[in-house]
Structure 1
Amino acid sequence: MMQFSVCVLFLVLLAPLMLVVSADTGFNDDVLGLIVFKAGLEDPKRKLSSWNEDDNSPCNWEGVKCDPSSNRVTALVLDGFSLSGHVDRGLLRLQFLQILSLSRNNFTGPINPDLPGLGSLQTVDLSDNNLSGEIPEGFFQQCGSLRTVSFAKNNLTGKIPESLSSCSNLATVNFSSNQLHGELPNGVWFLRGLQSLDLSDNMLEGEIPEGIQNLYDMRELSLQRNRFRGKLPADIGGCLLLKSLDLSGNFLSGELPQSMQRLTSCTSLSLQGNSFTGVIPDWIGELKNLDMLDLSANSFSGWIPKSLGNLDSLHRLNLSRNQLTGNLPDSMLNCNKLLAFDISHNHLAGHVPSWIFKMGVQSISLSENGFSKGSYPALTSTPTSYHGLEVLDLSFNAFSGVLPSGIGGLSSLQVFNISANNISGPIPVGIGELKSLYIIDLSDNKLHGSIPSEVEGAISLRELRLQKNFLGGRIPAQIDKCSSLTFLILSHNKLTGSIPATIANLTNLQYVDLSWNELSGSLPKELTNLSHLFSFNVSNNHLEGELPVGGFFNTISSSSVSDNPLLCGSVVNHSCPSVHPKPIVLNPNSSGSNSSISSQTHRHKIILSISALIAIGAAAFIAIGVVAITVLNIHVRSSMERMPATFALSGGEDYSGSPANDPNYGKLVMFSGDADFADGAHNLLNKESEIGRGGFGVVYRTFLRDGHAVAIKKLTVSSLIKSQEDFEREIKKLGKIRHSNLLALEGYYWTSSLQLLIYEYLSTGSLHKLLHDDNSENVFSWPQRFKIIHGMAKGLAHLHQMNIIHYNLKSTNVLIDCSGEPKVGDFGLVKLLPMLDHCVLSSKIQSALGYMAPEFACRTVKITEKCDIYGFGILVLEVVTGKRPVEYMEDDVVVLCDMVRGALEEGKVEQCVDGRLLGNFAAEEAIPVIKLGLICASQVPSNRPDMAEVVNILELIQCPSEGLQELE
């Protein structure tokens, strides 16, 4: 007995120890399983840094939740962690896992069929990843307690497995946005506990099978955007609890089944984009809980049923793109909660009832019907109920009359379209009071008068369409106040006067059509600054003078400027008349032979015969020709004699050659008019005039005869340069490039042994000098630095748009003008080399240490515009930090890119901003800019964004409300 008592006591004392050992074993399983899972992942944001294999428990790890009583892992929620890799078998060790949520990551590979083997698993969410392959049949053969499963937004293929029907506990199934095909398994309707089924955005086909009435608890059914065909199952009305039914975007046909009138709990019904026929049934009015009804893009016919007036909870109604006839029933006045109303693209006719505009709706679309004249709403009084109206589309009807003068009272109006009607009269000045308006389309009417200058008040305007009217007068210069304009379409009117230069201030313009008017004068040269232009049409006007050169106008089509007889330029194949001084200078004190002959002819017109007049005229013509040829010869000899002197080089450099033995000796070409260098050869190419050196040559400053300063680059790659023909072809291409953030090439000089490039001169100096010169008193403010970064991005984006790679981007090649705008220089010079060889490129840009993309070191990697984006990223960091790309310390070398990246990982990125700013910078702009710089300076070229994307991101940084998720 004593021995038995001792044994019992021993077991009692041992029991807690056994529980601890058992618990520890469980902890080790959870830790081991998660560590194995982590080992197969990439974690770029270090979200799983807290997962330490030396920990005894994972319960404090990021994304891990445990049962407080057992300390076993019950939930793994890693949504949006930017993880990539496979869903590893290590998770199978988590025997008490109930929730597995890995959505919004980048997991790849197939779905692990063994996951439901975790007997306690209730929720699996693998949505919004890059999973591929088929949904494994075995996944649902051991689904046990599984209630929610989502594979939405992946790349899954194959069919929906038949085994799905065996998961009787399933309440939510979401396979949307994949590439699943085949028919819907009949067994799906046996999941009696199913409450939500979303199979939208796949390629499922066949008919929707009968039996859906078995889903007593079904609340949401989404089968939209598939390939289902045939009629709806007649028993669909058996889902009495159904609140949302979306079957849009399929090939369903026939009439709506009568049983649907039992769906009285339904709040959202969308059948849009099918082939349903017949009339809209009267019983639709019995679905009194409907909040949204969309029957658009079908083949419904007949009148709109009066019973729609019973839907007093309705917010959105869309009956567009059907074959409905008749008019709108007055009973709809009872739909007093209606916010959006679209009956466009039907055969409705008659008058528009006034109650439409008294219901407080936000969006009304009646376009493409047959509503008749005199029946569009009179908005002159602008009652309070109109003030919430945001969209009003009355286009393509037969409305007449004039636009109401009180339209400015529609303070919330964003879209106003009354095109293709018979509206007459002037455009009301009240248009300028619509501060929220961003689209106005009054085209194809009978409007007259002028475009009111008050349009400047519509400050949010993006599209202004007034084509095909009878508008006259001038285009108001005040239109530049509409700074968001992207579309300016004023064609087929009677507009007069010149095109205002202020249009060039509309920097967002993409499409401009001023054709078929009576515009005159010349095209403003400033139009070349419109860097976003896709189309600019001024054909069939009375414009004259030279076409702008640069930007979009270098590639404008001839049809866009045709039928302007006095326009000149290469595009219209009509050379412009010379405006340069003529070589013959007449003595102003002489009476002039022509006037003398004219007066003598007048006095003796009766005496002189016709033959005598011809003889005298011929003699005078010959005499003038002789004089002209003589003067021209003298002028040419003088120019040829001056040229060697003008380009005589100091420092003992002798470029022998003469017109006798080198016909191309001293060929000077200026792209905008004739010019020559000022007297005094000591100002050209001497040591005192040197202002910079680079991989392609030495830069000097000199002056033209008109006092205009220019920068001359003496190329030091003569041995590598192509032939004169190739050289001139490439240089002329570069000379046509004009952009506010690119340094203009103004001309060149050629001999067989000397090549000079003539650039515009900026006295302010280079970005490198202004950032790093210890003697510089200039400290850029943060807005100035942002302006520089934005400008450099726009300049590079323009180059890349023209398929030009810079190759040699660095701060010494970025100049700053007097207004603080950056101008990128030295672009395109690599084209002068015989081949784009890695070795040649590296030797030419070896001075760009720190800016060179890593692909230059790999001969097998193709050099693309991505090398420029890398250099731009380094430039961004240089501008923000004020530090050089590589700095040499006494016992260390600091690489700027690595330093900033390390600071970012440590959460100290703000400390990288140039200390000279003393905290006077916008952190909400500076930090995203730094992150953008690091992204651009990625080691992998494909990870770097395009320059056009960079420009867009920078503009978003200035508008945080637009969102910058990619940089966070």
Structure 2
Amino acid sequence: MKMLLNLFAFLLLVPASVRSFDSLLSDDVLGLIVFKADLQDPHANLISWNEDDNSPCNWMGVKCNPRTNRVSELVLDGFSLSGRIGRGILQLQFLRKLSLSKNNFTGSINPSLARLESLRVIDLSENNLSGSIPEDFFRQCGSLRAISFARNNLSGQIPYSLSSCSTLAAVNFSSNQLSGPLPAGIWSLNGLRSLDLSANLLEGEISKGIEGLYNLRAINLRNNRFSGQLPDDIGGCLLLKLLDFSENSLSGKLPDSMQKLALCISLSLHGNLFTGEVPEWIGEMRSLETLDLSANGFSGQIPVSLENLQQLKVLNLSMNEFTGNLPESMINCKNLLAVDFSQNMLTGNFPAWVFSLRLQRVSLSKNRLSGSIEHPSSTSMDALYQNLQVLDLSYNELSGEIPSDIGGFSSLQFLDISRNSLDGAIPASVGELKVMNVLDLSDNRLNGSIPSEIGGAASLKELRLEKNFLAGKIPTQIEKCYSLTSLILSQNNLRGTIPAAIANLTNLQIVDLSLNDLTGGLPKQLANLPHLLSFNVSHNHLQGELPSGRFFNTISPSSVSGNPSLCGSVVNRSCPAVLPKPIVLNPNSTSDSSAVGSFSSNLRHKKTILSISALVAIGAAAFIALGVVAVTVLNLRVRSSTSCSAVALTLSGGDEFSQSPTTDANSGKLVMFSGETDFGSGAHRLLNKDCELGRGGFGAVYQTVLRDEYPVAIKKLTVSSLVKSQEDFEREVKKLGKIRHPNLVALEGYYWTPSLQLLIYEFVSGGSLYKHLHEGPGRNFLSWHERFNIILGTARSLAHLHQMNIIHYNMKSSNVLIDSSGEPKVGDFGLARLLPMLDRYVLSSKIQSALGYMAPEFACRTVKITDKCDVYGFGVLLLEVATGKRPVEYMEDDVVVLADMVRGALEEGKVEECVDGKLRGNFPAEEAIPMMKLGLICTSQVPSNRPDMREVVNILELIRCPSEG
């Protein structure tokens, strides 16, 4: 091989005129063999590449021109190759297509690659290439028509030389870390048909001149940082079929020229700052199949002209400020498959056309719709029943009964009608929903019993019926829902015993039967449930001994409180000893029966008298004890209600909550995103010091409840001098309020005066992760399964924030809250968007107040702060959860940095010893060790060496399920 390489180097120096076509080894063979020498081929896909062959045309992945016998295509997609793309490839002078996608190539891009005169297609997507795209890469691009560097780790700006490659028809640089503005001359590439620059860090305005791309069919600039307005001349791209500018910071109104895009099939502007009404000319874009205007600031009524979009399949107008009724004209959109109008301010009755189309997904949640859910007409039932898969009507004002024939929705997988005013009984036909995964009827006025037919819904994974008026027993037939993971029946009037059949639901993770009238004991078989994470039976009338084993050995006392007759170590109440009945021998067994009867009668009489006396004494003592307990409980409740409930109190600074969304000189402005602005009669005592939950770098957090006893957390900002103007503040807060994720603390509203700003969050009852790790009682420590779920949920929340172009900046365990189900919820995100005067030093002293989480780039002004600083903080958090140690520990004569400690243990082969000692070996090493290695990668000193959060989520899921990787 060494001789071959030396020969190749020699041939590169020999003039082409000296060499003949019949040389011992052709340029193509030499070039490919040298290219292979730079690679690792773990699956031996290139075993057929033999240096002794005179021609490579029969080699794997190689295709030759049959006329010239020279290599014309090299396609090695998905071969798991690694290494660098070496210079050997440059010898393939007749190469027309180079495709090396879905491998693990590293290194930078060779600037000479595009100069191969015959090359038409370059595809290096889905590798690990890094560095920047060379500035002169496109200076002499020959006949290049399509190029893809998608899904790599490229950085820097898009080279300006791109505009000089006039032959280009397709450009894909998506999913990299490219930054800066679009090249000035990019709109001069009039042969361009497809442009995909999505999922980068590009910024600036999208300049005019786009109409010069008159051949453009698709443009995707999604998930960048573009600002300003859409170019007015965008309608000049008459052939445009796909337009995706979602997840940027574009603003203003839609340009009128867009109505010329009569061939456009897909238009997505999700997650921007567009305002104003959606123009009626939207109905002129008659080829639209997908229209997504969600998560913006559009207002006014939904255009009636949508009825003209006969090809429309997906319509998403969620998370805007639309008002009025849903137009009845929507019934003319016969091809609609999915509609989402959630999180607006729509009013009027439930639209009948929803049940007259062949819709698969319908979401109308978080509006103000009223009236009943009308039964669909008989002519449309078949179509509806066969197609509808998702129906979400939650958080509205719907009334009446649930349609009795709901079971006819044979394809329904998700049904959420929670937070309405529905009454009547749960229809027995719910048992016919054979593929239903989630059924949520919570927080209504439903009565009657839980139908025994519920057992027919065998695919059910989540059943939520809490906060209703349901009575009767929990049906034993529920054991047939063998896939059930969550069973929430709290705050009803359920009676009877807890059926032992629940113990057969081996997939159960969350059970909440609290605040009912259940009696009897807890079935011992419940201790055998292998995946149980939360089990709440508080405030019932249960009795007897708690189950022992597994989850019940560490169950929280609050989960079983309010059951005075329960006993066991968890409730700190010993169970009465069970003594065998005494054996009484009759000493007069030889006497006659009358003597025996007299003796027995006297004995029974004395025992009866003693029993009555004892009972009287015990009863009196019990009565006195109950009186003392009752008085104590009442005192505690009175104190609690006076400290954290709704009582009139003027806010500090002289401001009171106004029930009007307007602002004047004498009142503050209160806005609740749900539309609820009434806090009850009088203002709430929101800032009572007794209700303070904690303090952070930017203010204190208080707990209170709204009028309907809905708990919230209030964050009082104490950096008023740094807060934006009211207009900017409200715009940013509303954008944060639209962010919804199961693992993020939801921002419910805000309060504004020039001297006082409050943020209103959902209340998370389980406390912070920091307290669970470092301050909780020893017997309530987090299991490894719980820790892994917390880390995975936190990673998913950060990935979602980064997808929305939001950096958390403040990732630490005290900002990760645990809800009643054990799920993590990340709070305090997006504060930097409200405080424009902050520089990195203020951030490091205020937001990054917890020592040890702060990424090193905060200390260097020349390094740009990106979402990689969150990845660093997450890596520290991951190590903290795995080891149970704080990020920085102060010893008597030393300071121990957690990441350095774990890194040292890894080098010594002792990383397993770093796992929290509280787990006592009860953790899978095959998860713990890779997880800590991932934490060390995330805490790399160089930001570009850290993975992004999407990759972190994928890695964690593979660690949990390695067989699927």
Smaller-chain TM-score bracket? 0.5 to 0.7
CA distance, structure 2, for counterparts of residue 234 and residue 951 of structure 1: 49
Aligned to 1:268: 266
- Using a 3 Å threshold, how does the CA distance of structure 1 residues 872 and 317 change in structure 2: closer, same or farther? closer
Give the CA deviation at 1:154: 1.0
Contact kept? 1:549, 1:738, Cα under 8 Å: no
- Cα deviation, 1:386-423, whole Å, max 9, x if unaligned, reads 12211121212111111121111111111111111111
CA distance, structure 2, for counterparts of residue 34 and residue 138 of structure 1: 25
SS in 2 for 1:578: coil
Amino acid at match of 1:132: S
CA distance, structure 2, for counterparts of residue 344 and residue 603 of structure 1: 66
Aligned to 1:349: 347
Give the CA deviation at 1:859: 6.9
Contact kept? 1:551, 1:737, Cα under 8 Å: no
Aligned to 2:73: 75
CA distance, structure 2, for counterparts of residue 72 and residue 61 of structure 1: 12
Give the CA deviation at 1:560: 1.8
Amino acid at match of 1:454: E
- Using a 3 Å threshold, how does the CA distance of structure 1 residues 948 and 80 change in structure 2: closer, same or farther? closer
Contact kept? 1:528, 1:738, Cα under 8 Å: no
Aligned to 2:508: 509
Give the CA deviation at 1:332: 2.2
- Cα deviation, 1:113-170, whole Å, max 9, x if unaligned, reads 2211222111111111111111111322221211111111111111111111111111
CA distance, structure 1, for counterparts of residue 325 and residue 418 of structure 2: 21
SS in 2 for 1:79: coil
- Using a 3 Å threshold, how does the CA distance of structure 1 residues 22 and 525 change in structure 2: closer, same or farther? farther
Aligned to 1:402: 401
CA distance, structure 1, for counterparts of residue 491 and residue 25 of structure 2: 79
Alignment of 1:148-163 (within 5 A): 148-163=146-161
- Cα deviation, 1:184-238, whole Å, max 9, x if unaligned, reads 1111111111111111111111111111111010100000111111111111111
Structure with larger Rg? 1
Amino acid at match of 1:407: I
Aligned to 1:195: 193
Amino acid at match of 2:545: E
Contact kept? 2:372, 2:401, Cα under 8 Å: no
Contact kept? 2:128, 2:153, Cα under 8 Å: yes
Amino acid at match of 2:331: L
- Cα deviation, 1:901-958, whole Å, max 9, x if unaligned, reads xxxxxxxxxxxxxxxxxxxxxxxxxxxxxxxxxxxxxxxxxxxx9999688566xxxx
Amino acid at match of 1:515: S
> What are structure 1's unaligned runs of at least 5 residues?
1-17, 605-609, 611-731, 740-801, 805-855, 874-944, 955-963
Aligned to 1:168: 166
Amino acid at match of 1:526: Q
Aligned to 1:107: 105
CA distance, structure 2, for counterparts of residue 467 and residue 92 of structure 1: 68
Aligned to 2:383: 385
Do residues 28 (structure 1) and 26 (structure 2) align? yes
The alignment-based identity, stated in percent, is: 59
SS in 2 for 1:33: helix
CA distance, structure 2, for counterparts of residue 543 and residue 603 of structure 1: 27
Aligned to 1:548: 547
Contact kept? 1:468, 1:493, Cα under 8 Å: yes
Contact kept? 2:264, 2:288, Cα under 8 Å: yes
- Cα deviation, 1:541-564, whole Å, max 9, x if unaligned, reads 222222222222233222222222
Do residues 323 (structure 1) and 338 (structure 2) align? no
- Cα deviation, 1:278-305, whole Å, max 9, x if unaligned, reads 1110111111111111111111111112
Give the CA deviation at 1:380: 8.2
SS in 2 for 1:139: coil
Amino acid at match of 1:43: D
- Cα deviation, 1:655-710, whole Å, max 9, x if unaligned, reads xxxxxxxxxxxxxxxxxxxxxxxxxxxxxxxxxxxxxxxxxxxxxxxxxxxxxxxx
CA distance, structure 2, for counterparts of residue 947 and residue 355 of structure 1: 43
CA distance, structure 2, for counterparts of residue 601 and residue 497 of structure 1: 34
Alignment of 1:512-527 (within 5 A): 512-527=511-526
CA distance, structure 2, for counterparts of residue 594 and residue 165 of structure 1: 111
SS in 2 for 1:527: helix
CA distance, structure 1, for counterparts of residue 177 and residue 263 of structure 2: 32
SS in 1 for 2:63: strand
- Cα deviation, 1:461-486, whole Å, max 9, x if unaligned, reads 11111111111112111112111112
Aligned to 2:244: 246
Judge which range, 355-364 or 446-455, deviates more.
355-364
Give the CA deviation at 1:379: 6.9
- Using a 3 Å threshold, how does the CA distance of structure 1 residues 19 and 394 change in structure 2: closer, same or farther? same
- Using a 3 Å threshold, how does the CA distance of structure 1 residues 369 and 161 change in structure 2: closer, same or farther? same
CA distance, structure 1, for counterparts of residue 605 and residue 495 of structure 2: 43
Contact kept? 1:299, 1:323, Cα under 8 Å: yes
Question: What is the TM-score of this pair, normalised by structure 1?
Answer: 0.60
SS in 2 for 1:411: coil
- Using a 3 Å threshold, how does the CA distance of structure 1 residues 601 and 19 change in structure 2: closer, same or farther? closer
Contact kept? 1:550, 1:737, Cα under 8 Å: no
SS in 2 for 1:23: coil
SS in 2 for 1:556: coil
Do residues 305 (structure 1) and 303 (structure 2) align? yes
Give the CA deviation at 1:586: 7.2
Aligned to 1:562: 561
- Cα deviation, 1:634-668, whole Å, max 9, x if unaligned, reads xxxxxxxxxxxxxxxxxxxxxxxxxxxxxxxxxxx
Aligned to 1:360: 358
SS in 1 for 2:484: coil
Amino acid at match of 1:84: S
Amino acid at match of 1:286: E
Alignment of 1:427-506 (within 5 A): 427-506=426-505
- Using a 3 Å threshold, how does the CA distance of structure 1 residues 548 and 257 change in structure 2: closer, same or farther? same
Do residues 145 (structure 1) and 153 (structure 2) align? no
Amino acid at match of 2:519: S
Give the CA deviation at 1:376: 4.2
Contact kept? 1:493, 1:517, Cα under 8 Å: yes
Give the CA deviation at 1:520: 2.0
Aligned to 1:280: 278
SS in 1 for 2:136: helix
SS in 2 for 1:325: strand
Contact kept? 2:373, 2:400, Cα under 8 Å: no
Aligned to 1:784: none
CA distance, structure 2, for counterparts of residue 946 and residue 225 of structure 1: 22
Alignment of 1:806-845 (within 5 A): none
Aligned to 1:117: 115
Alignment of 1:550-699 (within 5 A): 550-579=549-578, 589=586
- Cα deviation, 1:80-139, whole Å, max 9, x if unaligned, reads 111111111221121211111111111112122221122211111111111111111132
- Using a 3 Å threshold, how does the CA distance of structure 1 residues 306 and 601 change in structure 2: closer, same or farther? closer
Aligned to 1:617: none
Give the CA deviation at 1:488: 1.2
CA distance, structure 2, for counterparts of residue 445 and residue 256 of structure 1: 40
- Cα deviation, 1:446-475, whole Å, max 9, x if unaligned, reads 111111111111121111111111111121
Contact kept? 1:230, 1:254, Cα under 8 Å: yes
CA distance, structure 1, for counterparts of residue 530 and residue 501 of structure 2: 15
Amino acid at match of 1:332: M
Amino acid at match of 2:70: R
